[in-house]
Chains A and B, each alone.
Chain A
């Protein structure tokens, strides 16, 4: 029994792994830099991380069904271009048509990803989203002639760059979307199905879950989130930019994995993803403050990804041990 308790304890510790890593990073940077934990800097970190956090929330849904969405960076860029272009044509209604275009662009791209995967019977989510990665990026460059479009609605600038007291508006947007995602994943039947499809696709089919519709829907959500991230990014730079969001898809995937999402599907939480995004944000900011070369950030991020996935491997091993123990106790 005591070994059962210690196993349980280790599993809980692993579940808290990402949060512990984040706390350790904060403590270390706080020791090394006096400005790190100032209100100004913390506010900077969360504002800079918000676009990534939104992308990562979308990516979480896809990874929960054991998929991957490589297109979100390009779709983000495309949405800033289409959104900005629509604003140059129509500035009525406070630019709400432009905002709708940001979101609709993401939604359509996400739908196409999911549609190609489920109806086109493509072998893995890697393929349609890789195609979309190229196509969206190309379309963004074509539509903008490869140049920035320095004109976005005031509401977009506010959403990306505004402040409510010391709190950056994009952080409020992240909070709202995260809350919505928590309700979806934890409380609604549809969210339960996302976890079931990720847990075992074949079994999900057998218990009557519309597996293809669930898979399609997570890509729509991921695309929509890329649209929201596009709003934030365009707001921060006050422009539509065809090469915005470069490497953002990989960062989003990293945030999900670091935050305890499993590539095997069926495991991961919104809270974990936010922690994962913050870990990346804190590393970038902290190393910056310490004047460490930017390239080192990439190396540290790489190390943390491996560490996080090793935790997942360790979890599986411990669960196996736990099972054996249960069988002996029967």
Chain B
């Protein structure tokens, strides 16, 4: 309840992320139709919807994979165009896709810094000497900070279980994502015990200064860690609700299309 009150009080502030009337077409298909959404500081927001609802398209618009055809994206009140995944990362938005983008042939440290290995001297760029010691130290610190326990940071990712892999990918995103971390189905491939580790990471993310958007099919998990849930159906935003036990049925019917739309929300 503490947390919720805190969030209400922040309602007046500028959201960390605002999506305004975003539309995205693929040929004749309207993948996103005038979708708006905001993410508040320190919020864990669930993005719900059936297959083909447009969840993935929406997060890809935020992570620089797609560019919206219409509409705006505002980061801390300022309009941004996110032309590439690199740009999203530079803006402080990290995304963990379902395939995790991990490299089986690298250890945890190598995966943590994949593509942004610190080098010396810095002006040599990709011809510089990789600072392995520094990387290893920093990655261990981050893992410790996030309380992610792994057998060893030197073990190749290819030798890790699904839960450990998800934990590494999430921890990587949370250490580098200065503002927002987006997680696509973080628990779908995991067992109960493995899921609980990842859910804890998500729940604690606001303490580390990041806001989170989670796509999930698992309403139990959403109710456990999310402060708010927005529902998409057929590319249209159809409603939002607090993910509580009392709202469970309502969320389900919004997802499958059996419920009245929220007032002011569009018809699909």
Contacts and interface: CB of A to CB of B under 8 A. Distances in A.
A189 B125 contact: yes
Given A203-B99, A266-B103, A326-B164, A188 B128 contact: yes
A192 B159 contact: no
B51 to A, nearest CB: 21
Interface string A306-330: 0000000000000100111011011
Q: Interface on chain A toward B: helix, strand, loop, or mixed SS?
A: helix
Contact of B117 (A192, A322, A323, A327): A192
A190 interface: yes
A262 B97 CA distance: 26
A46 to B, nearest CB: 30
B225 interface: no
A267 B105 CA distance: 7
B110 A189 contact: no
Interface in B48-88: 84-86
B117 A206 contact: no
Contacts of B191: 327, 330
Interface string A171-183: 0000000000000
B61 to A, nearest CB: 15
For B103, B128, B151, B163, which residue has the most chain A Cβ atoms within 10 angstroms? B103
Contacts of A323: 158-161
A206 B101 contact: yes
B127 interface: yes
Contact of B161 (A202, A205, A326): A326
For B104, B110, B116, B151, which residue has the most chain A Cβ atoms within 10 angstroms? B104
A212 interface: no
Given A196-B103, A200-B104, A207 B116 contact: yes
Interface of A: 187-190, 192-193, 195-196, 198-200, 202-209, 266-267, 319, 322-324, 326-327, 329-330
Interface of B: 84-86, 89, 97, 99, 101-106, 110, 114-117, 119, 125-130, 151, 158-164, 191, 193-194, 197
